[in-house]
Structure 1
Amino acid sequence: MLERITLQVLNQVLPFSGRIKDEVSIDCNDAGVDYLEANVNNCSLLDVITNPNTHSLRQLLPLDQPYTLESPLVLVQVNQFQCGGIAIGVCVSHKISDVYSLSAFINGWSSATRGDSKVIAPLFELATLFPWKDKSDDQGFEATEGHRKDVVVAKRFVFNASDIARLREKARNVESPTRVELVSAFIWKRFIELDRSRSCPTTKPYSAYHAVNLRKRRVPPLEEHSFGNMSSIVVALLTTKNDDNDKYCSLVAKIRGAIRGIDGAFVKKLESGEEGHLKNFEAGLMQASQGENEQINFSSWCRVSFYDADFGWGKPVWVTTISVDLKNLVILMDTRSGDGIEVWVNMLEEDIEGFASDPELLAFASETHFPS
């Protein structure tokens, strides 16, 4: 049943059924997606969600094959637990889709499964609004991904509504910070303190990169089911160490200011293809990445409607991601209640234990927590 409905929904999202043709286009050749069904007999669904670990979560995703240009752009694995629970694992190529497009696909699929006649189809308008430009001669900015030989380990932390309220009190001098800004700044602060505890006294800069969804920042805003990648990277930079600059509330203000800089005027300049605007923006990112700079990267999946996906069995008990092989990458997601944040921190193996045992971190977040 789910497999048949998947094909029905894919007819509305043709790029997902295609293959990558080159760096800027998809061949919509109807090659299809990978759809697998698996029986899980060695543990219960309750075991997975009460004691989550990256190894068990990876088993629920179709990750056996290395990625190539001939690989499917979407892979689905439906896991049937012996206890009766079901876990659906979905992988999608980031070359053609961001988390909002993935959410639109999953919600469209679940709506079709329930027989909903009002399935919202994705909108393919981004290529028209933001036409591709040949930048082959540019020396563009590349985010630091770390060396693949390094072992990256992930730890999960949960900030409940009460934890975030305490963070808000710590940042009471900042006007109306969001949950994401509060938690991101807190993680950044603990990251900075961990590095300083291991290093000789230094004034080296620290940077926090944050991905920002542009759909709602455009004037007029675009629908969340506008298909593709539509985000920008902003950077908050701490350049010197002093009593005021590196306080928590100051870091909240830095991240908030960087994110607020992505407004309607910024998006309009991107849309118009204003070369000077884009070059100046990229130059700022490149400058922040140079030198003895310690960089941490944030991607927020908060307010993405994964918990609305109902395949006929009710809404999910838990929606999560897994570890990513990129050092110093932090992914933020809503808890089931919608007022907390689940954080996945990916760090080098030699760094993560020190970070996870930080008393200040553990005073505000729980590493082991049943999804609520």
Structure 2
Amino acid sequence: MVNKLCMKMEITNHPSKLVKPSKPTPPILRNYTISFIDELAPTNKIPLILYYYAPPYFSPQKPHNKTICDHLEASLSETLCEFYPFAGRYTRYIALVDCSDQGVPYVLANTNVPLSKILGGLGRGFKPDLLNDFLPCEIGETKDGDDPMLSIKVTTFGCGGLAIGMCFSHRIIDVATLCTFINNWVARSKGVYEVKKYSPVFNSTLYFPPKDLPKLYLGPLRPSISAHVFRFNRDAIFAMGKTVGYGGTMSQSPSKVQLVVALLWKAFVRIDQANNGQSKASFIAQPIELRKKLDPQLPTNSFGNFWGLITSQLKPGKGENIGFQGFYKILSDSVKKANTDCSKIAKHGEEGHHVIIDSYLESNRNVVDDDVNFYLFTSLCYFSFYKADFGWGKPVWASQGKYPIQNLVVMMDDQEGGGVEAWVHLNEKCMRELEQDSDIKKYNNTSFSQGKNTNTGIRSKM
């Protein structure tokens, strides 16, 4: 089958500009100190692309892109007054962001193809790296000095549709902060801004003061690795749930995220066994959002990185005789333990801090161990990307791009809301074998569809 995205897609990038806060950042806020979880966070960029159909008032005779892009720029400038670290630059040796309003790179672009051609090419054979052209910069590490904390690119399609591509520095924020920023920007764009609801709360160092800790290491950057999007729709998630006992021996509905992690982990172990005779030790790391897990809970709009790591592991050869339900149980037990441990973090001082720190250090040891297969699964599910209506409608799709990181899986909600898109990054040989795995083929849906959110009965949280 020919991939429809293999067509010649020409993107013309116009000269970028630096968007600065509409009001100067006060001198008292010029130095933003990062927390120890910020120190531990990987320094790569977090990409996000939101795709929109043309506004209902679009007419080819009256191009709208300049008006919309100017409006987005103006509302972005206003939003940066509150999210001022995004307009600054990070300096590692003093572990702070210089918030001198250096600005956010803002790039306008246009392409010759309609959005329908992009969406129509997302089936079998789709290559995620093609989407990186809609991002304002490469998905790599954030460097010191001149590297921005946030960059934005707005691409106009031939049909009048838009793609808003963003790259955020993981050094200072997590996905929850990313969503708070987008919600703030959206509200300002529509003129319905609610101050308290979407204003950032800068409280990270109050709970997690800096300690000069090493970052989470994800291995060397590998631009040549293979990336593939596996789509598990609502029906597939429901079928997985039945396989692990939901509706039978399991009374509590399973998490769709953990179902997908279990399915892929089982396949990874099976591939390793087939290639080596016996599977290596296997180590899984998954971020866990801390704001609502701590006691007391923190505001959802707390700015920064507020996440720990859930770790699960298998000894050599131990995963070969475990079924899907067994993998799910290992993950479920790890989640339960992490939830219990999180309640201790805020109340036990230094001991509580080590609940977070130790899992990062354990992951760093395993990622460099040649006798261990390390996998990072990170979930962007349940966030509000599909609600980001800047004034001309909600996104028809929210996507990632291709990361230069091996053994990485990024999970996102599908368009209908009940399924999961798994953006898997492996070496080319393992990817070919994964695509042929019997369980993956059983549940993977190769078509791209659109629709309203539906309820599967499957839990929406870990």
- Using the size of structure 2 for normalisation, the TM-score is 0.73
1:225 to 301, 304, 329: 301
Name the residue aligned to 1:347: 426
TM-fit CA distance, 1:354? 1.6
Pair 1:280–1:345, CA change in 2 (3 A)? closer
2:200 to 87, 98, 122: 122
In the alignment, the residues of structure 2 paired with residue 112 and residue 262 of structure 1 have an alpha-carbon distance, to the nearest angstrom, of 37
Q: Does 2:143 correspond to 1:68? A: yes
Match of 1:45, as an amino acid?
L
Within a 5 Å distance, the mapping from 1:247-262 to structure 2 comes to 247-262=323-338
Name the residue aligned to 1:15: 85
Q: Does 2:276 correspond to 1:199? A: yes
Name the residue aligned to 2:116: 46
Instruction: Judge conservation of contact 1:190–1:355 (CA < 8 Å) in 2.
Output: yes
TM-fit CA distance, 1:37? 1.0
In the alignment, the residues of structure 2 paired with residue 232 and residue 315 of structure 1 have an alpha-carbon distance, to the nearest angstrom, of 31
CA RMSD of aligned residues (A): 2.4
TM-fit CA distance, 1:279? 6.3
Pair 1:338–1:283, CA change in 2 (3 A)? same
Instruction: Judge conservation of contact 1:270–1:278 (CA < 8 Å) in 2.
Output: no
Instruction: Judge conservation of contact 2:89–2:149 (CA < 8 Å) in 1.
Output: yes
Within a 5 Å distance, the mapping from 1:252-331 to structure 2 comes to 252-263=328-339, 265-269=341-345, 272-274=349-351, 277=355, 281=359, 284-285=362-363, 290=369, 292-331=371-410
Name the residue aligned to 1:170: 243
Pair 1:327–1:285, CA change in 2 (3 A)? closer
Partner SS state of residue 184, structure 1? helix
> Tell me, which stretches of 5 or more residues in structure 1 are unaligned?
none
Instruction: Judge conservation of contact 2:270–2:279 (CA < 8 Å) in 1.
Output: no
Partner SS state of residue 87, structure 1? strand
In the alignment, the residues of structure 2 paired with residue 178 and residue 242 of structure 1 have an alpha-carbon distance, to the nearest angstrom, of 24
Partner SS state of residue 331, structure 1? strand
Match of 2:107, as an amino acid?
L
Percent identical: 29
In the alignment, the residues of structure 1 paired with residue 194 and residue 216 of structure 2 have an alpha-carbon distance, to the nearest angstrom, of 41
2:185 to 102, 106, 109: 109
Pair 1:64–1:217, CA change in 2 (3 A)? closer
Pair 1:213–1:277, CA change in 2 (3 A)? closer
| 1:281-305 Cα deviation digits (max 9, x unpaired) | 4565466554611122100011111
Which deviates more, 332-341 or 239-248? 239-248
Instruction: Judge conservation of contact 1:217–1:262 (CA < 8 Å) in 2.
Output: no
Name the residue aligned to 2:261: 184
Q: How many residues align?
A: 365
In the alignment, the residues of structure 1 paired with residue 332 and residue 326 of structure 2 have an alpha-carbon distance, to the nearest angstrom, of 10
| 1:98-143 Cα deviation digits (max 9, x unpaired) | 11111111111111111113152111111111111244xxxx6854
Which deviates more, 95-104 or 66-75? 66-75
In the alignment, the residues of structure 2 paired with residue 185 and residue 351 of structure 1 have an alpha-carbon distance, to the nearest angstrom, of 17
In the alignment, the residues of structure 2 paired with residue 313 and residue 359 of structure 1 have an alpha-carbon distance, to the nearest angstrom, of 42
Pair 1:212–1:116, CA change in 2 (3 A)? same
Name the residue aligned to 1:96: 172
In the alignment, the residues of structure 2 paired with residue 73 and residue 150 of structure 1 have an alpha-carbon distance, to the nearest angstrom, of 22
Pair 1:179–1:278, CA change in 2 (3 A)? closer
Instruction: Judge conservation of contact 2:272–2:280 (CA < 8 Å) in 1.
Output: no
Instruction: Judge conservation of contact 1:141–1:285 (CA < 8 Å) in 2.
Output: no
Q: Does 2:226 correspond to 1:153? A: yes
Name the residue aligned to 2:106: 35
> Tell me, which stretches of 5 or more residues in structure 2 are unaligned?
1-70, 452-462
| 1:321-366 Cα deviation digits (max 9, x unpaired) | 1111111100111112221111100111222122122232011012
Q: Does 2:161 correspond to 1:82? A: no
